[in-house]
Amino acid sequence: MSRVYDDEQLAGAYERGNEMPEASLQAWVELIAAYAQRSSPSIVEIGSGTGVFSAAMARWIEGSEVMAVDASEAMLSEARRHHPHPAVQYLSAEAEAEAVPAAGSVFDLALMSRVIHHIPDRARAARERAMLRTCGSGSRGGCAKGVPSR
């Protein structure tokens, strides 16, 4: 095992440790949705982990379609088990954040939350602008290092 976040037990612990009160999660989704410039946005979450935000965005942003991408199959397994939603597609990025499996200019909104510290070559990821290359003209992207107190 080359990456700690590929461990199935750790992925389960991560899922349990990131539980959030429903009202807090909905408040985060409302903040994220405020950046969408059209109704029914297409959204990509890079480094989706166990899918907490991806499923919440699909649930509370009406008409949205969400591509949830993560390099850890263990995290994606937890996402599929705990946060299934018909508008969320969970995909493995078999490489790293800069290898999002999507053609350019397809998303209205891109999100990276609590993932920067997992990217081994941050400079390369920034040069390749992983989030921005997936978005169309006028799209928005956001990156958060952590989530404030619940």
Q: What count of other Cβ atoms lies within 10 Å of the Cβ of residue 84? A: 12
pLDDT tens digit sequence for 58-95: 999 999 999 998 888 999 999 999 999 999 999 987 65
Number of domains observed in the structure of the chain: 1
Q: What is the CATH number of the domain that holds 75?
A: 3.40.50.150
Q: Is residue 20 part of a domain?
A: yes
Q: Is residue 149 part of a domain?
A: no
Q: Is residue 60 part of a domain?
A: yes
SS3 (DSSP) at 16: helix
- Cβ pair 69, 101 in contact under 8 A: yes
pLDDT tens digit sequence for 119-137: 777 777 665 555 555 555 5
pLDDT band at 150 (very low <50, low <70, confident <90, very high): very low
SS3 (DSSP) at 123: helix
Q: Is residue 51 part of a domain?
A: yes
Look at residue 147 in the predicted model and tell me its pLDDT: 47
Q: Is residue 119 part of a domain?
A: yes
Domain containing residue 125: 4-144
Look at residue 101 in the predicted model and tell me its pLDDT: 59
Q: Is residue 150 part of a domain?
A: no
Look at residue 87 in the predicted model and tell me its pLDDT: 97
Look at residue 145 in the predicted model and tell me its pLDDT: 45
